[in-house]
Amino acid sequence: MEEALLQHPAVLEAGVVGAPHCVYGEVPVAGVALRAGHLVNEDQLRVHARKLLADYKVPQRVFLLPELPKGLTGKVDRRSLRDILIAQPDVLEQRVVSRV
């Protein structure tokens, strides 16, 4: 999922984690840091991801962050990222996505 987001020219780094959902158990949500001078919104990134991923893999929400938390190795720290994304006020808004 991260690779699909990273293929967008405005995305510098991306991380995807699971957020609790009342129907599906968990749904993917993404944190994205943009390249300097690029502007893009959540909907544009989700449309881009939808072209490359199956519907159930497209992040339900994409949050734009100044930078993603990193561990000592320089990789995205998914535990910290999950804590940051779960703390967002509307990440737990339960959206039931119709699969037509």
Please answer whether residues 22 and 29 qualify as being in contact, where contact means their C-beta atoms are separated by less than 8 angstroms.
no
Give the helix/strand (H/E) hosting 49.
helix 42-52
Between CA 19 and CA 85 the distance in angstroms is 8
Confidence of residue 23 (pLDDT cuts 50, 70, 90): confident
* Listed residue (15, 31, 1, 26) closest to 94, CA to CA: 26
Split into its structural domains, the chain has a count of: 1
Domain assignment of residue 24, yes or no: yes
pLDDT at 99: 40
**CATH number for position 28:** 3.30.300.30
pLDDT at 11: 97
More confident of the two residues 100 and 85: 85
Q: Which residue segment(s) compose the domain that 38 sits in?
A: 2-86
Average pLDDT over residues 31-60: 95
| pTM summary value | 0.82
